[in-house]
Amino acid sequence: MNFEIHGPYDLPKVNGLIDKAAKSKKAFWDAVEKSSPGVPDACGCYVYVVKARRGTLPWYVGITTKRNFRAEALGAHQLNHYNPAITRKVGVTPQLFFLVKRTPQGRFAKPSSNPQRDVEFLEKFMFGVALNRNGSLSNSKNTKFLKSMIVPGVLNTPRRKPTDPEKALKNVFGL
């Protein structure tokens, strides 16, 4: 169960939103293919991020197992979740990362109608990591427990001075 990270790739904008025009999407996927051959036709997880002067935040975590990244990642549903994060904000760059599944033979995994539990698990794991960094993560699917669960120092840490055990556990995990 190996995954390879590709990106970040800057997404094209028009009037403060992701450019939905077919020509822009084609240019984006052509650029991804040129820099990372095979990625657009593979499957795995993807992460929309908002890059700003203050730092970079995850905004949406997605999964694709039955369709490839090209068919899934720039869909209307995904853009409807992501566009509010960048609407008319100056100095913000929308970006996309791909966490591409590798086969045991080292090739990029292709979409399949068979369950891909490793990709599904990675998506849930990435939800937790992303929520820890951005409590305003746009996803709602499969995040109910993650959004409401509090593990001080690890997940949804309350704004207060941490206790010594909380600091110790946080240190154990390198957070």
Q: What pLDDT digit, counting tens, does each position of 64-86 carry? A: 999 999 999 998 888 888 888 88
Contact call for residues 135 and 156 (beta carbons, < 8 A) = yes
Contact call for residues 158 and 83 (beta carbons, < 8 A) = no
Determine the 3-state secondary structure of 87 from DSSP: coil
Both structure tokens of 32: 């991804």
For the segment 40-56, the average pLDDT, to the nearest whole number, is 93
Q: What is the pLDDT of residue 169?
A: 86
Angle at 24 between CA 23 and CA 27, to 5 degrees: 90
With bands split at pLDDT 50, 70 and 90, how would you rate the model's confidence at 140? low
Q: Which candidate, 158, 156, 99, places its Cα nearest to that of 128?
A: 156
Give phi and psi for 47, each to the nearest 5. Answer: -135, 120
Burial class from Cβ neighbours inside 10 Å (0-12, 13-18, 19+) for residue 113 reads: exposed
Tens of pLDDT, residue by residue over 81-133, are 888 888 867 788 899 999 999 999 999 999 999 999 999 999 988 988 888 78
**Helix%, strand%, coil% for the chain, nearest 5:** 35, 25, 40
Q: What is the dihedral of CA 77, 80, 64, 102, to 10 degrees?
A: 160
Q: What is the pLDDT of residue 25?
A: 94
For the segment 152-168, the average pLDDT, to the nearest whole number, is 84
